[in-house]
Amino acid sequence: MISLLIAGTRLPAKSGATRKIINPATGEFVIEVAEADREDTLLAIEAAKAAFENSIWKTYSNIQRAEILRKTAQILSRDKSQIAKAESLDTGKRFIESEYDIDDVISVFNYYAEQAETLTSRTNSVDRENIKSRIEFEPVGVCALITPWNYPLLQASWKVAPAIAAGCTFVLKPSELTPSTTSMLMDILSEAGLPDGVGNLVLGAGATAGSLLSEHPAVDFVSFTGGVSTGKLLMKTASQTVKKVALELGGKNPNIIFADANLPAAIDNALTAVFLHSGQVCSAGARLLVEKSVHKEVVGEIARRAENIVLGGPFEANAETGALISAAHLEKIENYVANAISEGAKLIAGGRRPVEAHLQDGFFYRPTVLDACHSKMQCVQDESFGPILTIEVFETENEAITIANDTIYGLAGAVWSEDSEKANRVAQALRHGTIWINDYHPYVPQAEWGGFKQSGVGRELGPTGLAEYLEPKHIWQNLAPASSGWFSEGAN
Active site residues: 248, 282
| 29-34 and 142-146 strand pairing | unpaired
* Cβ-Cβ contacts under 8 Å for 345 (sequence gap 6 or more): 370, 371, 372, 373, 377, 379, 390
Q: Which is it for the CA torsion 127, 131, 132, 135, positive or negative?
A: negative
Non-local CB neighbours of 283 within 8 Å, separated by 6+ positions: 251, 253, 411, 412, 434, 441
CA distance 15 to 13: 5
Q: In angstroms, rounded to a whole number, what is the distance separating the alpha carbons of residues 81 and 61? A: 32
- DSSP labels for 155-215? HHHHHHHHHHHHT-EEEEE--TT--HHHHHHHHHHHHHTPPTTTEEE--S-IIIIIHHHHH
**What count of other Cβ atoms lies within 10 Å of the Cβ of residue 448?**
17
Burial class of residue 70 (count of CB atoms within 10 Å of its CB; 0-12, 13-18, 19+): middle
Q: Given its phi and psi angles, is residue 346 left (phi above 0), alpha (psi -120 to 50 degrees) or beta?
A: beta
Tell me, what amino acid is at 59?
T
DSSP 285-343: --EEEEEGGGHHHHHHHHHHHHHTPPB--TT-TT-SB---S-HHHHHHHHHHHHHHHHH
Element (H, E) at 239: helix 228-239
Q: What contacts 301, CB < 8 A, 6 or more positions away?
A: 267
Q: Name the β-bridge partners of 347.
A: 370
390: amino acid identity, one letter: T
Most distant CA atoms of the chain, gap in Å: 101
What length does the chain have?
Answer: 492
Strands 254-257 and 287-291: parallel
- Please state whether beta strands 221-225 and 287-291 pair in parallel, antiparallel, or not at all (unpaired): unpaired
